[in-house]
Each structure stands twice: as structure tokens, then as C-alpha cells.
Structure 1
Amino acid sequence: MSLRATARIAATADGGLPLLVSDGPLALRRTRGTGPYTRVTVVGAMSAPLGGDRLAIETEVRDGARLLVDSAAATLALPGRSAEPAAYDLRISVGADGALRWLPEQLVSVQGSELRMRTTVELAPTARLVLREEQVLGRHGEPSGTLLTRLTVRRGGRPLLDHELAFGPGAPGGWDGGAVLGGHRATGQLLVVEPAFADKPVEARPLGELAAVAPLAGPAALVTAVAPDARALRRVLDAALAELAPF
């Protein structure tokens, strides 16, 4: 039987979490934070998402709040009894002078799975955001499942980024070619929205051989990377995180 579950988080400027609601496989725990950030860790309570599942996390960072969301382990997209694809939606809003660091572990697309993941973010003009996505295409030694991800970000009601990726069986041809992954099996993005970039934009440049940073109108910066495995990908994105988002 397919699962439907929606977990909810709300953070306030005084460090409170007036809303912290777990549901189904999405168990939310308040964990020890660092610095000014309230921290919530997503703990997988069961195997999910499976084929046909509909999962969501809704997150509200209210005015002046600072929130860090991470996860205890990688998320595995797994095949299930249903032939329908699984869906995983992240719906995020960050209010005036709020800050969100969204830093989960990797998403692993297991052979035979099909997942459609959608992340939608609404930012106030003075909000800050650090958002990391990492996709690993197949477990060790196996082909990728089918994975479609879309990241849509609006700042002050205006579009900032609308970025879609598709991998695996059924994805448009060329996804594994030299112009996209070049045979690599890990890929990721790091988005940093920082009002200070308005006065000092990030310079477009390569980050080693397999990653690059580009400025976005907004003001924001987007790092994209590919790597042979999850560990190498994390090293690249951690270096970019330390450089671009020390807040």
C-alpha cells in the first residue's frame, strides 16, 4: 500500500519551534544547534519513498528566525509494489531577515525506483538561504533508478531559479553523456542567496575540474558539480559552502 505523509516545521526568531510535526516515515527531531541556528534533523522512521508514495515536508522560517535542517542518513528512493512513481515535495518559506540552511544527506536513486522530487522555496527580499542537493545514481555497482528533480525559488515574489534535472531510464537522451554527467554517478547543487551579494557579486569560475560557481540575479550564487562518488561530491560542495556561506 502506498504511503501519504506530510511533516511540518515552523521556526521563530526566539529559537522556538511552535510547529514540529512528524508523519509516517518523516520523523523530525530537535537536535543540538550550532551558533544562532535552531536545528531540526529528519530521521527516517521506515524505508521510503517507495513506488507510489507521496511524501512532503513543509517548512516555515518566520521573520528573524534562523533554522538549520539536516538529516540523519541518506534518503533511498526504492522500488515498491506500485508501478506509480513516488513523489517527494519540499515546500519552504523564509520570512524577512530569516535564514535557512537546508543541508540534508544525499538522495540515492536505487535501481528500479522512480522518484519525482520537487522543491519550492519562497523568500522574503531580506531572507538568506543555503540549500544543498546531492543525487547519487544507483548504489555501488548498480545502474541508476529514474529520478526527476525540480528546484524552484522565488525571492520577493519574483523568480530567482527554476532548475530541473532528469536521470536514469526514461530520462531524455544524453543525460549520461559528456555534456551532462560524463559517466559520473554523483551530482549536486549548492544554492546560496545572500543580500550582500548585491554589492559584491560572486565571480563565475570553475571549482576544480568537475564543478563551477555562477552568479544569479537575486542576489545569489549557484554551484553545480559532478563527481565519481558521494564522498568526492561532498568535498567539493563543502569547500564551496565554507567559501560562499560563512553565515
Structure 2
Amino acid sequence: MTAGVRATARIAARDDGRGGTSLPVLEGDGPLALRRTRGVGSEARVMLVGAMSGPLGGDHFTVEAAAAEGARLHIGSAAATIALPGQAKGESRYDVRLKVADGGELCWLPEQLISANGSDLYVSSRIELAAGARLVFREEQVLGRAGEEPGRLSSRLTVRLGGQALLDQEVTCGPGAPGGWDGPAVLAGHRALGQLLVVRPEFADVPVQARLLGEYASLMPLAGPAVLVTALASDALRLRRVLDDVLNSLSQDL
């Protein structure tokens, strides 16, 4: 049996004292390469560049990012992440660990995660927010490449705000998932699913009202200064359009 690859990328962002954001820690190994790109205003922008295919079966990738007080950090990716079967047997893992201090801001806006046929991936995202932190977190998952059945994909997102639980949810799709995952009560035949979590202190003073965003998308306020958008679509392009539209709308309302 071939052992899987272990790789970790670490990012730390701080206020540089000159109206910008510095990156005292920016390191990645193996397939997780990091590149700083041109930011906007006071933000630091980092691109996650996959140096090889994966995660493959047995791989374990981890991305850790922290934004300190006064820092603004934007993280994206150069391309979609594709979970593939690989030679090693067993489940692959992709862990995301984000931490934002009071007065800090972090935007996690990578490209889609694609679950290719035969793959088995578990994604775990854990986010720790101090009171007064700001967050934009987008997660998009596509079940199968064009014309193929998906692999097994399990994803759990847990968020704590000010030491209290804000959100804890899990979904599993594909072969071996609980029955009905593709039925009318869950995905209803769609192959792209996504969510957008926005946390802003301003929501405490200007609450956002729950609303439908079409037949297969909705916006719900959470028990805190946060809103959660969930959406289904037939493909990645339509899913991105829905999430982008609501993020732009939320920005204009404030």
C-alpha cells in the first residue's frame, strides 16, 4: 500500500502599523504552495496554488490561517481542488483551520472542490472567531466531473464566535452516504452545493431578514451577527452566480 501525502500550509496576518497587513508567516509544503498577490486597500491577499494533483486516497492536507487584530486577510485558490482516487486506499482528508481576532477580518474564497468518481474525501472546517471578528467563508462542492458519477464526499463545518457555538453542520454525499442524499429532500438531483457564511458586527444593529433566493437557495440569520446562505445548482457556474449575487447584496446593504 502506498502511503498518502501529508502537507500543511500556514498563514498569519497582522496589522503592519502603516495602514496595511503584513504576513509574518506564509509557508506551505508539498502540494500546498502559497503566493502573495496584489491586495486591495489594507488587505493582504494570498493565493493557494496546488503544486500537484490531489488530494488523492490517503492524503491529508491542512490549511491554517489566522488574522490578528486590525489585519485583513483574503485567501483564494488558483484553481479548483479535485479529489481523486489515487493508488493508496482509504479516505483522504482536507482540514481548514481559521482563526480571527477581535477587529480582524478574514475572507476564505477558494475555487470549487470537485469530488471525482472513486474518490473518498472528508473535509473538516473549524473556525474560531473572537467577538468583533469579521468573516466571509465560501464553500462550494461539485459532485463529479462532467458526465461522471461522484465519489464519496463528507464535509463538516463548525464555527465558534466569542467562545460560543455559532454553527455546526455536516453533510455526506455519494456512494455509501445515508440513503436519500440525492432525493427531493436533500439535493433533488443537483450536482453543485454551496454555502456562504458572513459574520459582521454590524448585523447586530442591522439584522438581515430571512428570505428565499430562488427555488433552491435561501438566506438565514444565525443566533449572532451572522447570516448563512445555502444553495443548490445544476453546475458550478450557476452556484457561483447565486453566492456572488447575495454577497454583493449584503455588502451594499451596509
TM-score normalized with structure 2 length = 0.95
Please name the residue that 1:140 is paired with.
146
Write out aligned runs for 1:41-120 (5 A).
41-120=47-126
Quote the offset at 1:81 in angstroms: 1.3
Query: Hey, what does 2:41 align to over in structure 1?
Result: 35
> Is residue 15 of structure 2 the alignment partner of residue 13 of structure 1?
yes
Classify the secondary structure of the residue corresponding to 1:141: coil
Answer yes or no: is the 8 Å Cα contact 1:192–1:245 preserved in 2: no
SS at the partner of 2:246?
Answer: helix
Specify the alignment match of 1:4 in structure 2. 6
Query: Percent of counterpart pairs with the same letter?
Result: 62
Deviations 1:6-34 (CA, angstroms, capped at 9, x unpaired): 11000011211000001110000000112
State how far apart, in whole Å, the 1-side matches of 2:105 and 2:192 are. 28
Number of the residue aligned with 1:191: 197
Q: Deviations over 1:63-100 (max 9, x none)?
A: 11000000000000000112210001011100110011
Q: Report SS of the residue matched to 2:239.
A: helix
Alpha-carbon distance, 1:245 to partner? 3.7
CA distance in 2, matches of 1:166, 1:20: 32
Q: Secondary structure at the match of 2:243?
A: helix
State yes or no: 1:204 paired with 2:206: no
- State the aligned residue count: 247
Distance 1:219 1:194 in 2: 6
Does residue 176 in structure 1 map to residue 182 in structure 2? Answer: yes
Give the whole-Å Cα distance in 2 for the aligned partners of 1:4 and 1:245: 38
- Once the two structures are superposed, what CA deviation does each residue of 1:189-227 show, in whole Å capped at 9, x if it has no partner? 000001111112111110012210000011100000000
Q: SS of the counterpart of 2:45? A: strand
Q: Is the 8 A contact 1:130 1:245 kept in 2?
A: no
Deviation at 1:165, TM superposition (A): 1.0
Equivalent position amino acid for 2:71 in 1: A
SS in structure 1 at match of 2:126: strand
The code of the aligned residue for 2:204 comes to A
Separation of aligned partners in 1, 2:174 and 2:249: 32
* Secondary structure, counterpart of 2:66 in structure 1: strand
2:107 match: secondary structure: strand
How large is the RMSD of aligned CA atoms in angstroms?
1.0
Q: Which runs of 4+ in 1 moved over 6 A?
A: none
In 2: Cα distance, 1:35 partner to 1:167 partner: 40
**CA offsets, 1:43-70, max 9 Å, x none?**
0000110000011011011111000000
| Aligned equivalents of 1:221, 1:193: Cα separation in 2 | 7
Identify unmatched segments of 5+ residues in structure 1: none
For 1:225 and 1:245, the matched residues in 2 are separated by 19
Looking at structure 2, the residues matched to 16 and 105 of structure 1 have their Cα atoms a distance apart, in angstroms, of 24
TM-score with structure 1 setting the length: 0.98
Q: Distance in 2 between matches of 1:61 and 1:217?
A: 23
| Structure 1 counterpart of 2:87, one-letter code | R
Deviations 1:103-158 (A, max 9, x none): 00000000000000000000010000000000000000101100000010000110
CA distance in 1, matches of 2:93, 2:192: 21
One-letter amino acid matched to 2:24: P
Give the AA of the match of 1:51.
Answer: G
- Match of 1:218, SS state, is coil
